[in-house]
Amino acid sequence: MPWLKEANIAIVITGRPTVSKYWLQDASIASGFVWLAAVNLGLGCAFGAVYNLMDEKESHKRESYVREALEIPNDRSIIAILGIGYENKKPASKRMASKSEVIHYNTFGSNP
Ligand SMILES: Cc1cc2nc3c(=O)[nH]c(=O)nc-3n(C[C@H](O)[C@H](O)[C@H](O)COP(=O)(O)O)c2cc1C
C-alpha cells in the first residue's frame, strides 16, 4: 500500500468473530460505506486489504503488522485499511463490466 504514506488519514476496519458470525460481511459493508462517505465529501479513498481468507499465512503476517503497530486486541480481525485524503488528480475512469456480465435473471447465465 505505497499510497498510504501520502494519505491524510487512515481508517482501519476490524471485525469481531466472537460477536457475529457475519463479521466479515459486516466489516466489508462498513468499508464500502466509509468509502462512499469519503467520496461524497469530495475526498479520495483507496482500499488496502489486510485480512485474506484464502491465505492464512499472509493474512496473519499482515494482521500482526497492523495489530502491533496500533495495539489492536486479539479478538479483532483486521480486514482493511482505508487511506483517505485530498486527491492530487482524479483517477482515470475504469472499464466497468457490462450489465449482461453481472446481472442474471432467474438463473445464473440467463439474460433478458
Ligand atoms: C477489494 C480491494 C482490495 C485492495 N487491496 C489493495 C492492497 O492490499 N494493496 C494496494 O496497494 N491496493 C489495494 N487495492 C487497490 C487500491 O484500493 C486502489 O484502488 C488502487 O491503488 C488504485 O487506485 P485508483 O482508483 O487511483 O486507480 C485494493 C482495492 C480493492 C477494491
CATH numbers and ranges of domains, the chain: 2-88 (3.40.109.10)
DSSP 11: E
Judged by DSSP in three states, 91 sits in coil
Between CA 69 and CA 75 the distance in angstroms is 16
Share of the chain above pLDDT 90, in %: 94
Q: Which atom of ligand 1 is nearest to the CA of 4?
A: 11
Contact 77, 7 (CB under 8 A): no
Helices marked H in the chain — which ranges?
23-40, 56-70, 99-102
For residue 86, is pLDDT > 80?
Answer: yes
**pLDDT mean across residues, the chain:** 95
Tens of pLDDT, residue by residue over 51-76, are 999 999 999 999 999 999 999 999 99
Which three three-digit cell numbers place residue 14?
476490524
> What's the whole-number mean pLDDT along residues 82-108?
93
Q: Whose CA is nearest to atom 25 of ligand 1?
A: 91
CA 68 to mean position of chain CA atoms: 20
Between CA 14 and CA 16 the distance in angstroms is 7
Tens of pLDDT, residue by residue over 26-41, are 999 999 999 999 999 9
> What's the whole-number mean pLDDT along residues 100-105?
92
Q: Whose CA is nearest to atom 26 of ligand 1?
A: 91
CB-based contacts of 34, cutoff 8 Å, min separation 6: 11, 13, 45, 82, 84
Quote the ligand 1 centre to 56 CA distance (angstroms).
20
Q: How confident is the model at residue 112 (pLDDT cuts 50, 70, 90)?
A: low
For residue 111, is pLDDT > 70?
Answer: yes
Predicted confidence at residue 110, as pLDDT, reads 85
